[in-house]
Copies of this chain bind each other. A is one copy, B any other.
Amino acid sequence: MNKLNNSDPVLLKNVKIEDNFWSEYQKLVKDVVIPYQWEALNDNISDADPSYAIRNFRIAAGEEQGDFGGMVFQDSDVAKWLEAVGYSLAINPDPVLEALADKTIDLIEKAQQPDGYLDTYFIIAAPEKRWTNLTECHELYCAGHMMEAAVAYYYGTGKRKLLDVMCRYADYIDTVFGTEPGKIKGYDGHQEVELALVKLYKATGNEKYLKLSKYFIDERGQEPYFFEQEWEKRGKISYWRPGIVPKPDESYHQAHKPVRKQSEAVGHAVREVYMCTGMADIAAETGDTELFEACRRLWDDIVNRQMYITGGIGSTNHGEAFSFDYDLPNDTVYAETCASIGLVFFAHRMLKIEAKGSYADAMERALYNTVVSGMAKDGRHFFYVNPLEVWPEASEKNPSRHHVKPVRQKWFGCACCPPNVARLLTSLGEYIYTSNENTVYTHLYIGSEAKVQLEDTDLQITQETDYPWKGNVKIKLSLEKEKEFKLALRIPGWCKKAEISVNDEAIDVSSKMADGYAIVLNKWQDGDCIELKLEMHVEFIQANPKVRADAGKVAIQRGPLVYCLEEVDNGSNLNSVSIDTSAGLEEEYDESLPGGAVAVRAKGIRIDEEGWSNKLYRPFEHKTKEVQLKAVPYYLWGNRTPGEMLVWIRHI
């Protein structure tokens, strides 16, 4: 078994982000999101529905009497909070927060059943129904999230208690699932435990967890279909609806065929990318090239045929799902924040196997647009759906667009996205570099200091950058001793001209390019300074003509940032605007935008609304007037006066 892994991320605790763009978000997570979520989990937010999440654990632990409350997967909210706390403690020790987390972990341990089982819904409400509805009831999903939390908390604090709890649970799960007689030959309805078990394996070295994860991956989609058998066995009833229900839609769960035979992203988008992340993990750890090829095909389908320019995925709210190739409607879009976060996970795993620009480009696209757009500048309001075209009146009055919210919402009952944003932003340090014994890959340009372990020496690598506003990056190396290794610097897909100098001496970039990375081999010395100039200018982007929704339209992009028009800058009825692609685009730094940002000025025309009175249709007259347009980064939309928003703009 040869690992496919080519490089590994730098441990989070060894990366300190100090960045013009991201530090603010990390601070927001630490100071606002994590404390606010704690209050939410404890039902202390006066104007929100109670979460019940901590209370469920107290009831399961015998500390309180009562009924289970919230969603069947409510435990995962506690897990995601603990995971974010684990990351946060890794980069910002905080004894008060740690004590709170320790207390919570004590409670979780107390709720664990003698056999290792740990799911408060089934413990409290339906102990006899354990593992009878994998399709719908998220037991393995919750387990997976708590495993991720355990690993994060272990790395962040060195404390093993939750890790041990989750190992006991994983050991028990291993006795329940498998192909051996007496075991359930099944798998999870919402993929998550696969990638979590690999984390558990890597934290503990226990191969049982790796094998169990591989079992879940391999069993998925085999015939006869497990979900269908399970549905028949439980009398064709559903957790979610009364009465007899139709048999499960296998493709919604990506269980319509064995995963290694799959080539098209289908069904629930978060499930798909969580599954792909687990598949890539298994491929990397076990050397399973066939599985890796499936990952590559699915990646290709997602990124080259089913991804919005903002890095959003999932074209329909029906099942929060992929639809089909090139179907990317901008107004009825889903593009859930969690799905883009899952895409970041998937990209990150693929980068570990092979450093290719396609993975990092999509990761960057998702991060700087959909993911960061998911959270308001106050840290208390979130988008679940990330549309590319918003007409607030339609969101309110046309049910096909009810899911598209024109303003960020407070913490929801089904609070998947906010804690997902929190855990990703807090652990962002892990996504900047990967390394192996002779190469350090730089995937993201984020002001930071990192300690990287090379073959026989430690490297400290410092990035200074004005990214994403400017394409200049200064990288300084601190080394104990001279060391020959490769520094692989990502040249983003949007960049048409990149210059690199080493200690002020220019090097020929083109000769060093491999798959989107400039590979600079050198005998590096302490104090070496590498400067990168990525030409960053604003430009018009078009979509593949097969994308019907974007025909005749352009988007505006500058570096990694996609731009949009907002009503507050451009008036209402943005659809009546056409942008003049021959007139060029002007950039200007605009301090008045939240946090400050580069805005873009453009020229265009607007359909004249005069003289229409009460008519709906009339013979065509080409009456327009010239207008000045202002575009702002997509991630900022909805942070000022609410109104219309548009990414894809008609062009003349």
Nearest B residue (CB) for A540: B620
Q: Let me know if B620 and A541 touch, CB within 8 A.
A: yes
Q: Let me know if A541 and B612 touch, CB within 8 A.
A: no
Answer yes or no: A323 CB below 8 A from chain B CBs.
yes
Question: Given that A324-B393, A552-B552, A576-B545 are contacting pairs, would A332 and B400 also be in contact in the complex, using a CB cutoff of 8 Å?
Answer: yes
A314-330 interface mask toward B, CB cutoff 8 Å, 1 = contact, 0 = none? Answer: 01111101011001010
Answer yes or no: A303 CB below 8 A from chain B CBs.
yes
Whole-angstrom distance between the Cβ of A594 and the nearest chain B Cβ: 26
Question: Given that A542-B618, A616-B544, A616-B547 are contacting pairs, would A394 and B327 also be in contact in the complex, using a CB cutoff of 8 Å?
Answer: yes
Chain B residues within an 8 Å CB radius of A391: 548
Cα-based distance from A547 to B612 in the complex (angstroms) = 12
Q: Let me know if A573 and B552 touch, CB within 8 A.
A: no
Q: Let me know if B617 and A543 touch, CB within 8 A.
A: yes
Which of A80-88, A185-193, A304-312 lies at the binding interface?
A304-312
Q: Which of B304, B397, B548, B622 contacts A581 (CB 8 A)?
A: B622
Q: Let me know if B551 and A394 touch, CB within 8 A.
A: no
Question: Given that A318-B400, A399-B316 are contacting pairs, would A551 and B539 also be in contact in the complex, using a CB cutoff of 8 Å?
Answer: no
Could you say how many copies of this chain the assembly holds? 2
Whole-angstrom distance between the Cβ of A290 and the nearest chain B Cβ: 22
Answer yes or no: A224 CB below 8 A from chain B CBs.
no
Q: Let me know if B615 and A544 touch, CB within 8 A.
A: yes
Chain B residues within an 8 Å CB radius of A399: 316, 318-319, 321, 323
Q: Which A residues between 394 and 408 are near B, CB-CB below 8 angstroms?
A: 394, 397-400
Cα-based distance from A507 to B580 in the complex (angstroms) = 51
Question: Given that A543-B617, A609-B546, A615-B304 are contacting pairs, would A400 and B398 also be in contact in the complex, using a CB cutoff of 8 Å?
Answer: no
A613-646 interface mask toward B, CB cutoff 8 Å, 1 = contact, 0 = none? Answer: 0111111111000000000000000000000000
Most buried by B among A242, A309, A331, A619: A619
Question: Given that A545-B609, A552-B552, A573-B546 are contacting pairs, would A616 and B332 also be in contact in the complex, using a CB cutoff of 8 Å?
Answer: no
Answer yes or no: A650 CB below 8 A from chain B CBs.
yes
Cα-based distance from A403 to B620 in the complex (angstroms) = 31
Nearest B residue (CB) for A551: B575
Q: Let me know if B400 and A316 touch, CB within 8 A.
A: yes
Answer yes or no: A243 CB below 8 A from chain B CBs.
yes
Answer yes or no: A528 CB below 8 A from chain B CBs.
no
Chain B residues within an 8 Å CB radius of A618: 541-542
Whole-angstrom distance between the Cβ of A244 and the nearest chain B Cβ: 10
Q: Which of B608, B609, B616 contacts A307 (CB 8 A)?
A: B616
Answer yes or no: A110 CB below 8 A from chain B CBs.
no
Q: Let me know if B398 and A323 touch, CB within 8 A.
A: yes
Q: Let me know if B617 and A542 touch, CB within 8 A.
A: yes
Whole-angstrom distance between the Cβ of A251 and the nearest chain B Cβ: 11
- The 6 tightest CB contacts between A and B, nearest first, are A318-B399, A540-B620, A548-B575, A324-B397, A323-B398, A551-B575
A sample of 7 more A-B contacts (CB under 8 A), given A327-B398, A542-B620, A552-B575, is A323-B397, A323-B398, A541-B618, A542-B618, A546-B612, A551-B573, A552-B578
15 contacts between A and B (CB under 8 A): A304-B614, A307-B616, A309-B617, A316-B400, A318-B400, A323-B398, A324-B398, A327-B398, A539-B620, A542-B619, A545-B573, A547-B616, A551-B573, A551-B575, A554-B620
